[in-house]
Amino acid sequence: MPVRESLQAARTHGATRWQRKVQAYRVEIMTDRYSRQVLFSGIGAAGQEKVRRGRILLVGCGALGSVIAEILVRAGIGRITIADRDYIEESNLQRQALFTEEDCRSGLPKAVAAARHLRAINSSVDIYPEVLDVRASTIEALVREQNIILDGTDNFETRYLLNDASLRWNIPWVYGACVGAYGMSVAFIPYVTPCLRCILPLLPPPGSSPTCDTVGVIGPIVHVVGALESAEALKLLTGQGNQLNRKLVTMDLWTNQLAAMDLSAQKPDSDCQACGQGKLEFLDGLHEGHADMLCGRNAVQISRLVPRPVDLEAIAKRLSELGPVTHNEFLLKAKIGELELALFRDGRAIVKGTQDFGEARRVYSRFIGD
Ligand SMILES: [Zn+2]
């Protein structure tokens, strides 16, 4: 029986005051935008209220981040902070589901464009875009007061940093990764489950594993892994850690292989450098360089140890004497010979068209300064 009619029937048949109250409450939640989620027994009205109070840090808003952000913003979380260091390019549109051709033409940073689309999807969610590189020097301000950290990154340096941050500030985080048609995901609860470094003690050497740059990536796997991460986030937000998938799930959507390594019997490893020995060296910045290769980009990122704001307009004017320059309030792009330089307000730059750290650094020092 439809809810409104059932409420009418309850009145007609002399239902008690309590029954009428329950019916009225049902009308409220059934007509609410979250009704289908509230109907789901794993969430219910009480769970929805917890979701509404949930605070998420999403690190990386490319392919995985787009999927995760959309699912959780539609689910009605309270607040999401989206940290991303990159801007949108045409080659992103094949799989980065939040972005449009217009975003690409506008040269917007991903965090800013994502926030605009997400606000149009659900205006009741507080959305904070942060255009920055998540590093040892920037992460504390981002993780403060968050309930969960979600991995939308494309590199292990940042994931090890997230793992350290999760341990220091006692915040669960959900790992996810994709390349080709292959993907994996698992949730980590500090000092309860093994941490990332219990499973993978050492940072894989550069070039040792396939990347989106070398073998590409297809949209479907991104959506599957993004969905897995989001489901774990909903369980955590609603206080149902017991429902978490305690398996490291891996799958290949092309060769149809699906595997799950059961971690449920594993405790945090007392020999683990991070959770066992308390050496949070990624948080101490011991592994950070000033230049990083970017996944899938034929590009090098140049960062300052401490972000230092630059005057984009003045630099754009100066560089325009050398070649075409475009800029908006977030970044400028300049063509310098065969290279393209994108400079952000915090002084960080992405030099596109090279994988040579030295060349990228030379371009930065020569045209932006030290
Ligand atoms: Zn560990």
pLDDT at 131: 96
Which amino acid is it at 97? A
Tell me, in angstroms, the distance from the centre of ligand 1 to residue 193's CA.
8
Tell me, in angstroms, the distance from the centre of ligand 1 to residue 276's CA.
6
The predicted-structure confidence for 32-49, as pLDDT tens digits, reads as follows 899 999 999 999 999 999
Tell me, in angstroms, the distance from the centre of ligand 1 to residue 289's CA.
24
Compute the distance between CA of residue 163 and CA of residue 174 in angstroms, rounded to an integer. 10
pLDDT at 287: 73
Tell me, in angstroms, the distance from the centre of ligand 1 to residue 249's CA.
18
In a 10 Å sphere around its CB, with 0-12 CB exposed, 13-18 middle and 19+ buried, how is residue 234 labelled? buried
pLDDT top residue among 25 and 15: 15
- Pick from 78-82, 319-323, 360-364 the range whose average pLDDT is largest: 78-82
Tell me, in angstroms, the distance from the centre of ligand 1 to residue 246's CA.
15
Q: In this structure, are residues 352 and 331 in contact, taking their beta carbons and an 8 Å threshold?
A: no
Compute the distance between CA of residue 258 and CA of residue 149 in angstroms, rounded to an integer. 25
Residue 259 pLDDT exceeds 60? yes
The predicted-structure confidence for 273-304, as pLDDT tens digits, reads as follows 999 999 999 999 877 767 777 766 789 998 86
The predicted-structure confidence for 165-178, as pLDDT tens digits, reads as follows 999 999 999 999 99
pLDDT at 220: 98
pLDDT at 5: 52
Tell me, in angstroms, the distance from the centre of ligand 1 to residue 185's CA.
17
DSSP state for residue 88 in the 8-state scheme: -
Tell me, in angstroms, the distance from the centre of ligand 1 to residue 335's CA.
44
Residues with a catalytic annotation lie at 212
List the beta bridge partners of residue 174.
Answer: 150, 187
pLDDT at 3: 46
Tell me, in angstroms, the distance from the centre of ligand 1 to residue 272's CA.
5
Residue 117 pLDDT exceeds 70? yes
List the beta bridge partners of residue 197.
Answer: none
Torsion 136-138-144-147 (CA) sign? negative
Q: Phi then psi for 186, rounded to 5 degrees?
A: -160, 150
Residues 340-345 have a mean pLDDT of 91
pLDDT at 67: 98
Note if the pTM is more than 0.85.
no
Tell me, in angstroms, the distance from the centre of ligand 1 to residue 303's CA.
29
Count CA atoms closer than 13 A to 74's CA, side-chain side: 13
